[in-house]
Amino acid sequence: MFAPVRGQPDFPEIEAGIAAFWRERGVYRKSLELRRGAPRFVFFEGPPTANGMPHPGHCLTRAIKDLYPRYRTMRGEFCERKAGWDTHGLPVEVEVCKEIGIHSKAEIEAYGVEPFIHKCQESVWRYMKEWETLTERIGFWIDLSDAYVTYQQSYVESVWWALATLFDRGLLYQGHKIVWWWAQGGTALSSGEVGQGYKEVADPSVYVAFPLVDAAGRPTNRSLVAWTTTPWTLPSNQFAAVKADLDYVVVRETGSADEAEYILAEPLVATLAEKLKRAFDIVERLPGAALVGRSYLPPFDTFRPAGPPQSAPLAGGGSDTIGWRIVAADFVTTDSGTGIVHVAPAFGEVDYGVLVAEQARFAPGTGPALLNCVAPDGTFTDAFAMGSGRFVKECDRDIARDLRARGLLVHQEQYVHDYPFCWRADADPLIQYPRKSWFIRTSQFRDAMLANNAAITWLPEHIKDGRFGNFLETNVDWALSRERYWGTPLPIWECEATGRMEAIPSYAALLAKPGIAGTDVFTRAKAANPQLSDDLAVHKPYIDAVTYDSPFAGGSRMRRVPEVIDCWFDSGAMPFAQWGWPHSGTAEFEAQFPADFISEAIDQTRGWFYSQLAISTLLFGRTPGSSQPGDAKKPYPHPFRTCIVLGHMLGEDGQKMSKSRRNYKEPKVIFDTYGADALRWYFLAGQPPWTSIRYNERAIRESIPEFLLRLWNVYSFFVIYARIDGFDPAGLTGSVDDRSFAVARGGRAVSDYGELDRWMLSEVHATAIDMVGRLDAFDHFGAAQRLSALVEAVSNWYVRRSRERFWAAGRADVGPEGNRDKLDAYWTLYQTLLTIARLAAPFVPFVSEEIWRNLAVAGGGAGFAESVHLTDYPIGEPDLIDGDLVRRMALVRDVASLGRAARAAEKLKVRQPLAKVEVILADATSPHATGDAAWLESHAELVCDELNVKGFEICREPERYITRTVQADLKKLGPRLGKDLPKARDAIAKADGDALLAALARDGRVTVAWAGGEATLEREDLLVRTSARPGWAAAEGRQAVVVVSTELTPALVAEGLVREVVHAVQSHRKSLDLEFTDRIELVFATESPDLRAAIEAHLDYVAAETLATRVSFGGHDGPIIDVDGHGLGISLQVTHGAGGAAVDAGGRS
RNA sequence: GCGCGCGUAGCUCAGUUGGUUAGAGCGCCACCCUGAUAAGGUGGAGGUCCCACGUUCGAAUCGUGGCGCGCGCACCA
């Protein structure tokens, strides 16, 4: 028996009950066991950073990550879902620093590396708990108990294996490069990290004079003018660059006594003059090439000794000045600045390139050295006394002031541009800085990565060649190492004598090294604190203590290099590291690679999407240039086949979501108020997943009635009456099979059902087929819309048209006292609801389960699975779809809708009965026309009922109400007629439609002529449109024109009046809060003879509709209401002792 | 600067290979129902499809160039 259903569903409460049910009965486990051994659907969980609270955007990701595994499981596939957590890296370290109130690396060292990483691990655990709560609350089924965690020893060792493999193949190298450097944090960052930290800022920019010098090294009156937005790099200046084929000029201020002359690119003179509000005269013109080789004085004497320029021997003979010389460079442009570029090789990649090129010109060891007066912590060294010990960016102003005092500052202004800051500490500007760092040779694999990418299915498609493809095209070597603490330690040990290195692929391999020592450091720590996680043995600082005998130099030791690695490498290694592969989990890895499906937000193009693809391509792809057989271990695509890229979620105001702006509600609030299903449905059915979606409480709330509540109302309607009528699926059949849609039904085949039932089931099956097609193509948005339309059809057509059947007398049973038609209605709605519950299960798992649990398990009996998620997804049965019926029902719904529109146009309310409605089908010549018309005609009663009319007819003389016009079918004729189309179109439009159609019917073809041409047309070249003649209450749609008779006879008017009276009484009953079974006595008072006569003529009707045991006329002292212009008083009294007992559900006559 | 995406009703968004009357939900107005009822239904109003030029018989749809918004990239010295 079905449990009673509350009319006002409390979704959050229902969800809590369902969640408990899942937990107690282990339903997720069962759903896996059910499919064990079946083909796999492989899903990878992109590990959320266990740092910071989950926000609404994460809810979307988790909803989509849940939907497809649930769906594929119901489709019979085996989909393991292993949770994972990203736990290393800067985000965690920065969070911990905030917590203990420190910032710089020195402070961490002072705090102690050991307690610091303990803090990091604790912090990660805290956030993992929060994430687990969210995961369960939103109904994301994933195995949290067996999650992979990037700091676990087995995970770290997998990463070690990957790095050792790359190292042994020469793909992991230490390089001296200009890197983006986070000075406060003391580490380099990867391009991906840098890209996340750009902010628009105004920096001081300065135009500085670099005086040319004479042979003795004395400044002349001529100066180069260079421009920079980083004044702090000026003390490290080494060169000035010009473009050889660009025109330069020497200028002097107009009319000035000052002898000072400036050199800059000619196209930029006007710009500079405007900035300075001074006029210049051109003294001399010369090409850039003529400037190359000249020496100048740098703005600061940090490194340049006084006196003439120093020279050194060139590699190819001769000599040249070592520095502070003008060089030619192609990167010089006239887009901004002066066409003369200040070159400080320590602080720019191109600048560094200039230095490298210069060094190559000189004899080995004699060329320019790298000049750098900035320490790794971002402060000036003593070499630049003015700024010694201060952060470089803070010295910009003092530097400008000093330049001005010495007459070298030509101009100063604010320059607004994007500049990178640390992505985790966004007050810290990054600087470019020369640093030894570890890199992965990804750029060598650019083409391989592109080829791999090409085989991936991206949704939306443009990601492949757009954002992601572009990112791969511009690939640079992965700056891997971090001079930090909480991360996977770089598994490279270096010989202290020779500097030679080797990579270690596992902890066991390390322990097996000869002369191993230092493992006791962790052992002792563990003894002192037994709570200490064993995973920390492979972390700093413990791992740093482990040393062994050098194979390269007898008597010396191998020590680990100090760096840890970029945490993005951790997550990218997840496809194999989650299993600890290759040290363990070979079977799992082989079975679970590559993924069939992953999904994350678009910011992961540079994050997890890239790190996975890069690592996988390098490890399992072919090495470029290599022809070794078996080099390509995995065919493309890997490591994932399909990726849904989600748009970013915006706050209520359309801006980026931000805690400080408070422009979004916490997910918890939404869950507690509306429920997880409401949020899921809003995300899944509201828009395609890749559009940036606005997170908006009002929109979430308003999305509930159209689907969730509507579904619930149908379900509630069904249960209310099924309980009253004792509809018992289990009792009727003994057991019901839920495996196929053909549930037992007391011996009746679907084909024996009535038409409305067959229509409903046709719609159900057509919807299932369509949804399966869409979901297989990862189009859950389209599938959700289709599902929504089905629920609309059930609610607004099937239930509405079937109400009388549910209220009819008799039991829903097959016996002699049973009502067969009623039973059919119950079976149909029952099957429909069960199928909808299954169709909806991946989208709204809680409500679907609630409906299933009551209808199938409680009401249906032993044949049903205990959870909707343990059933098979309905794929629809094509042979149960009656295509004609579907089309015709759509037609009749359209006719009803048009009829109402026609009535509304004449202000004829539906309560007023009308004599007749006539329907003209728009296209009498379509292949279905005859059948459809006959069918419609046989449904006259239905149309009359919907429209409250006495008669219905398909109009045989359409000319009375409508005219037919023919139109060219442009799609057909366009290709054939080309330029003549407009003339043909006009000629056809002008033709007498009826005559033309008659001719066509007679001859099968007709010729239409126009000035200068003609064409022979067939029926399919034309479209027929009908339109109402003026003066008729008609409404036209694409399929039909519906005309209602507006003529009102006295009898019709009387009937209309009576219905108004009934309406008034019902309203009165409602206002008195009567039970719907209460019997009443009615006394009417009216001075209108027409109204009285109308009521008297329909006394029985009035009594039956209002459940009145007696209707009479009499006096009245209460309010008089208006009934279509007639006054009416209503006195109403509940009959004594006549409760609802005598009235059953079939009480209406 | 280069690249990607977007721009359709008051709001949030659909719009399939270019085709004649551009749709939905919400909101608004009017109406209906009153046995799913603090629900439900119907109808209506509301649109220079960002702008311009072009391709085409025909453009919301294709092309070019703008404008606006969002995002990404980075040799912005």
Instruction: Please check whether residue A818 is in contact with residue A746, taking contact to mean a CB–CB distance below 8 angstroms.
Output: no
Strand B contact at CB of residue A971, distance < 7 A = yes
Between the alpha carbon of residue A881 and those of residues A766, A791, A796, A888, A929, the distances in Å are 7, 17, 20, 13, 20
Residue A782 CA, nucleotide B15 C1', distance (Å): 13
Q: Are strands A595-601 and A640-646 parallel, antiparallel or unpaired?
A: parallel
Closest CA to A764 of A852, A827, A845: A827
| Nucleotides of strand B lying closer than 7 angstroms to a protein CB | 1, 3-5, 12-15, 19-21, 25-27, 31-44, 56-58, 70-77
Say how far A191 CA is from B74 C1', in Å: 10
Positive or negative: CA dihedral A670, A675, A680, A681: negative
Rg of chain A on CA atoms, in Å:
41
Which residue, among A887, A885, A827, has the nearest Cα to A860 in the 3D structure?
Answer: A827
Give the H/E segment covering residue A361.
Answer: helix A349-361
Burial (Cβ within 10 Å: 0-12, 13-18, ≥19) of residue A49: buried
B3 C1' to A288 CA distance, Å: 32
What distances in angstroms separate CA A168 from CA A48, A172, A439, A550, one per listed residue? Answer: 31, 8, 14, 17
* Residue A767 to residue A875: CA distance in whole angstroms: 9
Q: Taking chain A, what is the end-to-end CA distance rounded to the nearest angstrom?
A: 28
Question: Would the Cβ of A663 be found within 7 angstroms of any atom in strand B?
Answer: no
User: What is the predicted pLDDT for the residue at A196?
Assistant: 67
Report how far residue A330's alpha carbon sits from residue A980's, in angstroms, rounded to the nearest whole number: 58
Residues 6+ apart with CB under 8 A from A990: none
Interatomic CA–C1' length for residue A973 and nucleotide B19, angstroms = 10
pLDDT in tens, A800-834: 888 888 888 777 777 777 788 888 888 889 989 99
In the beta sheet, which residues pair with residue A1085?
A1129
User: In the complex, which nucleotide's C1' lies nearest to the CA atom of residue A901?
Assistant: B43
Give which of A82, A1, A4 is closest to A40, Cα–Cα: A82
pTM of the full predicted structure?
Answer: 0.83
Tokens at A1097, concatenated = 């003529």
DSSP string, A744-788: --TT--GGGS-HHHHHHHHHHHHHHHHHHHHHHTT-HHHHHHHHH
- Residue A762 backbone dihedrals phi, psi, to 5 degrees: -60, -45
Compute the distance between CA of residue A277 and CA of residue A1127 in angstroms, rounded to an integer: 89
Distance of CA A492 to the CA centre of its chain: 40
Q: Is A608 a catalytic residue?
A: yes
Which nucleotide's C1' is closest to A979 (Cα)? B57
H or E, element range at A610:
helix A608-620
Q: How far apart are CA A917 and CA A935, in angstroms?
A: 16
In eight-state DSSP terms, residue A794 is I
**Residue keyed to tokens 């010694």:** A388
Å from A656 (CA) to B23 (C1')? 30
Q: What is the tens place of the pLDDT at every residue in A554-575?
A: 899 999 999 999 888 999 999 9
Scored b (16 or more CB within 10 A) or e, A875-885 reads ebbeebbbeeb
Those residues whose C-beta lies under 8 Å from the C-beta of residue A596, and which sit 6 or more positions away, are A40, A41, A42, A43, A640, A641, A642
Spacing of A1087 CA from B29 C1' in Å: 34
pLDDT score for A849: 96
- The angle, 0 to 180 degrees and rounded to 10, between the axes of the packed helices A820-840 and A799-807 is 140
pLDDT at A1143: 32
**Backbone phi, psi, residue A596, to 5°:** -75, -30
Alpha-carbon distances of A578 from A51, A78, A117, A581, A994, rounded to whole Å: 19, 18, 22, 8, 74
Query: Catalytic one among A9, A12, A47, A345?
Result: A47
Structure tokens at A292: 């190359």
Q: Is the CB of A1074 under 7 A from strand B?
A: no
Closest CA to A391 of A115, A118, A181: A181
Which residues of chain A have a pLDDT value below 50? 739-741, 1137-1149
Nearest-angstrom CA–CA distance, A357 and A351 = 10
The reply to whether omega before A514 is within 30° of 0 (cis) is no
Which residues are A1148's β-sheet partners? none
| 3-state SS, residue A971 | helix
pLDDT value at residue A891: 82
Range 214-273, chain A: CB under 7 Å to any strand B atom:
227-230, 233, 241
Q: Which residue has the tokens 């001769």?
A: A318
Number of H helices, E strands in chain A: 41, 40
Closest residue, CA to C1' of B72:
A467
Spanning CA of A986 to C1' of B39, the rounded length in angstroms is 52
> Does the annotation mark A174 as catalytic?
no
A966 CA from B21 C1′ (Å): 15
Give the per-residue pLDDT at A149.
94
Cα A669 from Cα A182, distance rounded (Å): 38
**Cα–Cα distance, A705 to A712 (Å, whole number):** 9
Question: A985 Cβ partners below 8 Å, 6+ apart?
Answer: A967, A968, A970, A973
Helix (H) or strand (E) holding A414: strand A409-420
Q: Is the CB of A353 under 7 A from strand B?
A: no
Catalytic residue among A85, A141, A438, A568: A568
Length of chain A: 1149
Active site residue A513: no
Query: What is chain A's percent helix, strand, coil content, to nearest 5?
Result: 45, 20, 35
CB atoms closer than 10 angstroms to residue A1070: 10
Catalytic annotation, pick one of A199, A633, A659, A909:
A659
Angle A1082-A1088-A1093 (CA atoms, 0-180°, nearest 5)? Answer: 65
pLDDT attached to residue A890: 83
The yes-or-no answer on residue A659 being catalytic is: yes
- Picking from A237, A276, A270, the residue whose alpha carbon sits closest to that of residue A258 is A276
pLDDT at A1098: 86
Q: Which residue is nearest to nucleotide B36 (CA to C1')?
A: A717
Strands annotated E in A154-279 = 172-182, 187-188, 198-213, 219-228, 239-242, 247-253, 261-265
A686 touches strand B (CB under 7 A): yes
